[in-house]
Amino acid sequence: MHTLVEEHMSQESELVTLDTTNVREMLSGSGYSDRAITYYIDKPNMGYLPDADQVTELTGECGDTMKVYLKLDGDRIKDAKFQVLGCPGAIAAAMAAVDLVKGKTLQESVSVNDRDIFSELQKIPDQKLHCIRLAVKTLQKAIADVRGHKEPDHQRELDH
Ligand code: FES
Does the structure show a pLDDT above 60 at 152?
no
| Residue 115 is assigned to a structural domain of this protein | yes
Mean pLDDT of 131-138: 98
pLDDT of residue 149: 75
Q: Convert the pLDDT of each residue in 12-59 to its tens digit.
A: 666 566 688 999 999 999 999 999 999 999 999 999 999 999 999 999
Nearest alpha carbon, ligand 1 atom 4: 131
Catalytic residue, chosen from 15, 18, 62, 85, is 62
Band the pLDDT of 160: cuts 50, 70, 90.
very low
Does the structure show a pLDDT above 70 at 10?
no
| Residue 16 is assigned to a structural domain of this protein | no
| Residue 45 is assigned to a structural domain of this protein | yes
Three state DSSP letters for the chain? CCCHHHHHHHHHHHHHHHHHHHHHHHHHHHCCCHHHHHHHHHCCCECCCCCCCEEEEEECCCCCEEEEEEEEECCEEEEEEEEEECCHHHHHHHHHHHHHHCCCEHHHHHCCCHHHHHHHHCCCCHHHHHHHHHHHHHHHHHHHHHHHHHHHHHHHHHHC
Mean predicted lDDT score pLDDT of the chain: 89
Q: Convert the pLDDT of each residue in 58-106 to its tens digit.
A: 999 999 999 999 999 999 999 999 999 999 999 999 999 999 999 999 9
| Residue 91 is assigned to a structural domain of this protein | yes
| Residue 111 is assigned to a structural domain of this protein | yes
| Residue 121 is assigned to a structural domain of this protein | yes
Q: What domain count does the chain have?
A: 1
Q: Convert the pLDDT of each residue in 109-120 to its tens digit.
A: 999 999 999 999
CATH of the domain at 118: 3.90.1010.10
Mean pLDDT of 137-152: 87
| Residue 13 is assigned to a structural domain of this protein | no
- Ligand 1 atom having least distance to the Cα of 66: 4
| Residue 151 is assigned to a structural domain of this protein | yes
pTM over 0.75: yes
Task: For residue 131, indicate whether it is catalytic.
Answer: yes
> Could you list the residue range(s) of the whole structural domain that residue 96 is in?
31-159
